[in-house]
Amino acid sequence: MAGSSVDHETRLDDDDHFSLKLWLRILTCSNLIESKIRYHLRRDFDSTLPRFDLLAQLDRADGLKMSELSQRLMVTGGNVTGLADQLQQEGWLVREQVENDRRATRLRLTDAGRERFAGMARTHEGWVIGMLGSLSRDEQRQLHALLGTLKRGLHGDAETPAATGRPVPLRRSVRASAASPAASAELPAPIARFRNKARP
């Protein structure tokens, strides 16, 4: 099988439960979109997805404390500190002391950083619009509503990191080859195969 056609769904058998097939299709689409975005960010802006996500949070707020960023990004404080150090050195953001809390630090985009991110965000939006272009507007709305129902159900699971607010480390980004967008894909961990499963 060609490398470009290998994804999570190639692990499936005909007798797998339909819920498993649906989960792996969602996972495959999510990974494909993320992989393409990582590749384009690296190619067009020499940037990474974690950097973009941090900048996006700061762009939406008039400064955020390090702890707030860590919660919003659902990553550890160490991850935020490392990214902030890089972005401060490059002139994207500044650190400020928080009044009445000498232990806390607030991050804020510089004027230059906000202007640079605005151009990046517009380009990013175009990528996403293009990637979802195979669906009509009505199909996109239907999918959005269905995934919203699924999301609400998943938030009811108290064991998930999203429900508990536990931070997780940022995934290491993969440098993509300009000649092969597929090279930016991160190889997933093996998915457990279940036997004696119920039929749908």
pLDDT at 187: 36
Which residues, including other chains, have CB under 8 Å from residue 119's CB and lie 6 or more apart? none
Q: Which two tokens stand for residue 91?
A: 């002139």
Domains of the chain: 47-155 (1.10.10.10)
φ and ψ at 102, to 5 degrees?
A: -70, -15
pLDDT at 19: 86
pLDDT at 1: 33
φ and ψ at 109, to 5 degrees?
A: -70, 140
The CA distance from 114 to 111, in Å, is: 5
pLDDT at 47: 95
pLDDT at 104: 84
Residues in the chain, overall count = 200
Report the greatest alpha carbon distance in the chain. Answer: 61
pLDDT at 101: 77
pLDDT tens-place values along the chain, 200 residues long: 334 466 666 676 676 778 888 888 999 999 999 999 999 999 999 999 999 999 999 999 888 998 899 999 988 888 899 999 999 999 999 999 888 777 888 999 999 999 999 999 999 999 999 999 999 999 999 999 999 999 999 988 766 555 555 555 554 443 333 333 443 334 344 343 333 444 34
Sheet holding 93-98, edge to edge: 64-65, 101-109, 93-98
DSSP 55: H
pLDDT at 87: 96
